[in-house]
Structure 1
Amino acid sequence: MIPHISLPNALSPDECDRLIALIAAHHLKDAGLVGGTTAHNIRRAEIAWLDDIPEAAWVLDRMITLTAQANREAFQFDLTDFGESPQVARYTAEREGHFDWHSDIGAGPWAAKRKLTIVVQLSDPASYEGGTLEIRPDSNITQAPRSRGAATIFPSFTLHRVTPLTAGTRWSLTLWSHGPSFR
């Protein structure tokens, strides 16, 4: 199995701008909650859910198509749905934005069904420093592409993190495809 796949033009720069503008116009919430408690040592970011923004419905349609293509080419998992809302995150250097090593599969009604994680880089890579999405499928760590509009798709059980931002702001889109439990 391929540890991850990158799709360089999942969204155009104009589409990235459009999505950021939609999110920026809505209230972002603190994403530092883990297991119901604040854990800024694990994650420090602000998030918004696209299901709360009707003008962003086009994003899920695009991601479904791209994920189906990537799954056929690289993973061949049994996928059934996208039961969770896509999430846009804003990491800022001012708030020491980061997300420590974690996987996206776990307990709970949604996390237990996650099969593939899709992360799309929305920011221009020149607009921030640090904030690198790193993927650790084994003892090696790889960096996801930083090009604007690039999607990185990987199994949800894969360890990954966003390194601390040292300057600027990084925006990203994340969503998860679901399916029956791994066996």
Structure 2
Amino acid sequence: MLSIHAMPDAFTKSECELIISMISQSPTNEALLVGSNKDHNLRKSELVWTDDVVGMEWVMDRLIELVRKSNRDHFEFDLREFAESPQVAIYKSSDSGHFVWHSDIGSGPASGKRKLTLVLQLSGADTYEGGDLEVMPGAQILTAGRAQGCVSIFPSFTLHQVTPVKSGIRHSMTVWAHGPAFR
């Protein structure tokens, strides 16, 4: 059965802190679902698209290499491109930041071609409470690694959620590898 592929030390603590610092200078957008839906019962977070941040090219290069290795060793999907910018999600306890159960294959031009989802844990595990990334590859719920710099990769059709952040702020980066739509 397909599951989560974890890469615990994909980024160093200092690299994660550099990414957070770089995006902190950028304006954030409120996360929107399905067009302009602002239903905060579904998702409450702020987003920064890294293509809009100067100097982040090295991050994308690393993410591409991690997806390539994970796909080769674990998934063997037909991957062709990265058609969307990586996004940094900022989940704040002051907003009860969260994202309810969903898959990354939905409506929208690129989402139907998403094959793999990669989530990079940017925040230190001890800097926030709650905010767990939970993935349901079958009947069992798995909690992704919280270690700073850990990457979790899973098929984009897999249900997953971010539980409400109870204290602190959780930063994570997500990118999707694309290919021909699943049949």
| 8 Å contact kept, 2:4–2:153 | yes
Name the residue aligned to 2:81. Answer: 81
Q: Secondary structure of the residue that 1:88 maps to in structure 2?
A: strand
Name the residue aligned to 2:125. Answer: 125
Structure 1 runs of 4+ with >6 Å offset: none
In 2, the alpha carbon distance for the partners of 1:31 and 1:79 equals 26
In 2, the alpha carbon distance for the partners of 1:8 and 1:128 equals 19
Offset at residue 17 of structure 1 (A): 0.6
Name the residue aligned to 1:7. Answer: 7
1:26-175 correspondence runs (5 A): 26-175=26-175
Q: Cα deviations across residues 14-53 of structure 1 (Å, max 9, x unaligned)?
A: 1101100011111111114433221111000000000101
In 2, the alpha carbon distance for the partners of 1:26 and 1:181 equals 33
| 8 Å contact kept, 2:93–2:164 | yes
Q: Cα deviations across residues 69-105 of structure 1 (Å, max 9, x unaligned)?
A: 0001110000000010000011010011000000001
**Which blocks of at least 5 consecutive residues in structure 1 are unaligned?**
none
Q: Secondary structure of the residue that 2:73 maps to in structure 1?
A: helix
- How many residues in Structure 1 have an aligned counterpart in Structure 2? 183
Q: Cα deviations across residues 106-163 of structure 1 (Å, max 9, x unaligned)?
A: 2221001100000000000000000000000111100000000000000000000000
| 8 Å contact kept, 1:112–1:181 | yes
In 2, the alpha carbon distance for the partners of 1:152 and 1:28 equals 24
| 8 Å contact kept, 1:79–1:177 | yes
Name the residue aligned to 1:181. Answer: 181
Normalising by structure 2, report the TM-score: 0.98
**What's the % identity of the aligned pairs?**
49
In 1, the alpha carbon distance for the partners of 2:166 and 2:107 equals 32
Greater shift in the superposed pair: 137-146 or 27-36: 27-36
**Which blocks of at least 5 consecutive residues in structure 2 are unaligned?**
none
CA RMSD of aligned residues (A): 0.9
Name the residue aligned to 2:24. Answer: 24
Greater shift in the superposed pair: 104-113 or 124-133: 104-113
Q: Secondary structure of the residue that 2:126 maps to in structure 1?
A: helix
| 8 Å contact kept, 2:34–2:107 | no
Q: Secondary structure of the residue that 1:140 maps to in structure 2?
A: coil
In 1, the alpha carbon distance for the partners of 2:131 and 2:21 equals 20
Normalising by structure 1, report the TM-score: 0.98
| 8 Å contact kept, 1:132–1:162 | yes
Q: Secondary structure of the residue that 1:38 maps to in structure 2?
A: coil
| 8 Å contact kept, 1:33–1:40 | no
Q: Secondary structure of the residue that 2:174 maps to in structure 1?
A: strand
